[in-house]
Structure 1
Amino acid sequence: MNHSLIEEAACRAGITLLEEQIFQVDRYVEHLKEENQKFNLTSIIEDEAIAIRHLEDSWHAASLFKRVAPFSM
């Protein structure tokens, strides 16, 4: 996946990724696409759509958990 798509999705979600994290996300996306050919995990397969509908949406949702109630014991 084009790393600029990952960076743009992260930026829109309000997060900054380190270069290593960008590579990790890229590897995750490539693995998702490989496994999707075997198991039909998602119908979202274009890189731009993956960046928005899988990555960005997930990062937005994750940020809500921090705002609602931080975990404490």
Structure 2
Amino acid sequence: MNNESFAALLAQQGLTITERQLAQFDRYYELLVEWNERMNLTGITERGAVYEKHFYDSAALSFVTDMVGTTSVADIGSGAGFPSLPLKICFPHLKVTIVDSLNKRIQFLQHVVSELGLTDVLCVHGRAEDIARQPAHRDRYDLATARAVARLA
């Protein structure tokens, strides 16, 4: 999948992204593949599959949820940053908190955030059930996401 077809897929759903955002997705893909050689982030590494199954699927939340009217997002068990980082790229105004229990993944996510020049992204190392009890995080988000995590109560 090339940038034009990815942008066209998003545009079919009413989501327009800029050249800068496309460049951010390209760099994210490069970092994902590079770091995946050292640690298991995803079993999907072929470019077209990453764009479809990770980037597009993450952005798909915006097809059914008003992301323009959303200010803050908590992503629980984000793993390699899905869906929070693709959403942040598409909607730069979002304030994103990513929670993951593995510090190696948090280090990867912090590196991606830095490399892509993303702001208002907080990467928190910890278990969701522990972080949720902290006053700084409890009932502080407009939207919470979880993808491929344990059953949600």
- Shorter-chain TM-score: what band? 0.7 to 0.9
Higher-Rg structure is: 2
Shift of 1:12: 4.5
Structure 2, unpaired ranges of 5+: 71-141, 143-153
Structure with the largest fraction of helix: 1
Task: Measure the CA separation in 2 of the matches of 1:9 and 1:34.
Answer: 26
Larger RCO: 1 or 2 (CA < 8 Å, sep 6+): 1
> Percent identity between the aligned chains?
33
Structure with the largest fraction of strand: 2
Structure 1, unpaired ranges of 5+: none
Shift of 1:15: 1.1
Task: Measure the CA separation in 2 of the matches of 1:51 and 1:11.
Answer: 15
1:10–1:56 Cα contact (<8 Å) kept = yes
Residue aligning to 1:47 = 47
CA separation of 1:61 and 1:12: change in aligned 2, threshold 3 A: same
Shift of 1:40: 1.3
Residue aligning to 1:56 = 56
Residue aligning to 1:3 = 3
